[in-house]
Structure 1
Amino acid sequence: MSTENIAAPRSPYLSHRKRNRFNIEKWGWIYMRASGVLLVVLIFGHLFYNLIFPGSVSVLDWAFVAGKFADPFWIVWDVLLLWLALIHGANGMRTLINDYAHGRFRSVLLVALAAATIVLLVLGTLVLTTFDPCLGETDNAELIARCAAQ
């Protein structure tokens, strides 16, 4: 058996047009790994700050959340958490749809997934970035001092 006619595994067999095409599956795979690592850090930081740091879950109320969102650091943290988690989940759903749905039904599901993802990203980002901690009444002295300084 001769192997003279078998091309090398990475030989330039494909045309130039196909080699330079954007590979969404490759970039989706890379995104899932990178976002997964970042999400572990973001989620455990979120859980630590909201559950361990205050000392008790009963402390979590509107004043706690308002005090947290008075600091731009936590707004950026939660927006990043929202975007990474939602796109990570949508990418996983896209993979499942591609594996199990076929034809026109697959296209409808992918469009519905994209629409739901975009709507949730926009609404979640608007809630996090337009939240005004000084609108409500509270007896939290730290929050009252921050709002008075504005």
Structure 2
Amino acid sequence: MTAPVLGKSYDRPASLDAPRAPRRTGGNNFEKYAWLFMRASGLLLVVLVIGHMFIMLMIDGGVQRLNFAFVAGRWASPFWQLWDLSMLWLAQLHGGNGLRTVIDDYARKDSTRFWLKFLLVVSMILVMGTGTYVIFTFDPNITG
């Protein structure tokens, strides 16, 4: 397609006439929010994990003091329960979201994509459910 410009003509790029992907004006913003979640959860996980590693490995004699009694004392505090629960849930959701993206990128068949995502969601729910249960029902008075 040619258009005159000051007595001259030029060829318009075909991409202006037929863009590759139509622009969406609303609807599903799931991918945008998933992308934003990955950034926010990644930053928060860095803080939580580095804090966890520092407390576990560097303070008060390091790894030699880690035993059942240490965990029992730590999980007696709601603060540390929430800290560990946040790490567990953010790590699972962050990793699951990343794996969901990998499944979308590499699974060719819709049925394969569905079953892989189904297994991913089931495994995430099991790990988060079991971890949450352990954190909140941990009993330091185990009798053997």
Normalization by structure 2: what TM-score? Answer: 0.80
On the 8 A contact 2:107/2:113 being kept in 1, the answer is yes
Aligned position for 1:79: 85
Aligned position for 1:144: none
Higher Cα radius of gyration? 2
Q: What is the one-letter code of the residue matched to 2:132? A: T
Higher relative contact order (CA 8 A, sep 6+): 1
Paired with 2:40 and 2:51, the residues of 1 have a C-alpha distance of 17
Per-residue Cα deviation, 1:36-64 (whole angstroms, up to 9, x for no partner)? 00000000111111111122311100001
* Runs of 5+ consecutive residues of structure 1 not aligned to the other structure: 138-150
Aligned position for 1:98: 104
Asked if residue 37 in structure 1 is aligned to residue 43 in structure 2, the reply is yes
Distance 1:136 1:54, change over 3 A: farther
Asked if residue 112 in structure 1 is aligned to residue 125 in structure 2, the reply is no
On the 8 A contact 2:45/2:90 being kept in 1, the answer is yes
On the 8 A contact 2:81/2:136 being kept in 1, the answer is yes
Paired with 1:105 and 1:136, the residues of 2 have a C-alpha distance of 44
Runs (4+) off by over 6 Å: none
Aligned position for 2:34: 28
CA-based RMSD of the aligned residues comes to 2.0
Pairwise CA distance, 1:20? 3.2
Per-residue Cα deviation, 1:115-134 (whole angstroms, up to 9, x for no partner)? 1111111111111111123x
Pairing partner for 2:131 from 109, 124, 130: 124
- Quote the sequence identity (%): 46
Give 3-state SS (helix, strand or coil) of 1:124's partner.
Answer: helix
Larger strand proportion, structure 1 or 2? 2
On the 8 A contact 2:56/2:62 being kept in 1, the answer is no
Paired with 2:49 and 2:86, the residues of 1 have a C-alpha distance of 11
Give 3-state SS (helix, strand or coil) of 1:65's partner.
Answer: helix
Aligned position for 1:67: 73
Give 3-state SS (helix, strand or coil) of 2:135's partner.
Answer: helix
Number of residues of Structure 1 aligned to a counterpart in Structure 2: 127
On the 8 A contact 2:92/2:124 being kept in 1, the answer is yes
Pairwise CA distance, 1:19? 3.1
Paired with 2:135 and 2:43, the residues of 1 have a C-alpha distance of 23
Aligned position for 1:56: 62
